[in-house]
Homo-oligomer: A and B are copies of this chain.
Amino acid sequence: MSLLDDLIEAFRVLPGVGPKSAQRMAYHVLERERAGGQRLADVLAHAVETIRHCERCRDFSETDVCTICASASRDQQLLCAVESPADRLAIEQATGYRGLYFVLQGRLSPLDGIGPRELGLDLLDRRLGEGLVQELIIATNPTVEGEATAHYLAQLARAHRVRPSRLAHGVPLGGELEYVDRGTLSHAFGSRGEMP
């Protein structure tokens, strides 16, 4: 197996990259983007080594506590739970939200062995127990598992006398938050309702 074969194989670790596009990536970098390829290699190695999870919100962070959690200008009474860093980014970019986040890094899925512990809900439990948070905005995806997770989170919030809310209808059913257009997401976020 040649180094070129190794490179093609290595590209297949990326999502949605099959044998043919892995080959195109390898050839493209070697033919036209050696400097960019070297940079990708450097940044990737550094990122994989350095980027970990924020101790407060579980989002990606280069430091123990991420910049959003460390910011004095964010509203400590609002906490928004999302499934992924991509969802966190989508809300941050689309809405004027100035509260804090909690990134589940998944959703409840007992069949896949993903329970409360895997989603860091012990951490969330302690966080809600601190007494600062007044409202837990539950922004899990409107899928079956996302809804089940939302109900679990709502119960957890109520146990701490924190008001759970859910994004308003507007987010398409079965859709992934990450792909919702900004306008829809912003509207849904703004008109979120208390969970029944």
Query: For the complex, would chain A's binding face be called helix, strand, loop or mixed by DSSP majority?
Result: helix
Q: Mark A20-51, 1 if CB is under 8 A from B, else 0.
A: 01011111111101101111111111111111
Q: Tell me if A2 counts as interface (CB < 8 A to partner B).
A: yes
Tally A residues with Cβ within 8 Å of B: 47
Are B27 and A13 interface neighbours, CB within 8 A?
Answer: no
Segment 82-127 of A: residues with Cβ below 8 Å from B: 84-86, 89, 105
Give, as a whole number of angstroms, the nearest-CB distance from A60 to chain B: 6
Tell me if A27 and B62 are in contact (CB < 8 A). Answer: no
Q: Contacts A23-B86, A27-B86 given: A6-B51 contact, CB under 8 Å?
A: no
Decide yes or no: A48 and B43 within 8 Å by CB, A28-B15, A29-B13, A60-B30 being known contacts: no
Q: Give the chain B neighbours of A62 by CB distance below 8 A.
A: 2-4
The docked-state distance in angstroms from the alpha carbon of A2 to that of B37 is 19
Least distance between A83 CB and chain B CB atoms (Å): 11
Shortest Cβ gap from A96 to chain B (Å): 21
- Taking a contact as CB atoms under 8 Å apart, the answer to whether A47 and B30 are in contact is yes
Quick one: given A6-B47, A29-B48, A47-B3, are A13 and B41 in contact (CB under 8 Å)?
Answer: no
A173 at the interface (CB under 8 A from B): no
Answer whether A44 and B48 are a contact pair too, CB < 8 Å, given A24-B15, A25-B15, A27-B84.
no
| A residues apposed to B, CB below 8 Å | 2-4, 6-7, 10-11, 13-16, 21, 23-31, 33-34, 36-51, 60, 62, 67, 84-86, 89, 105
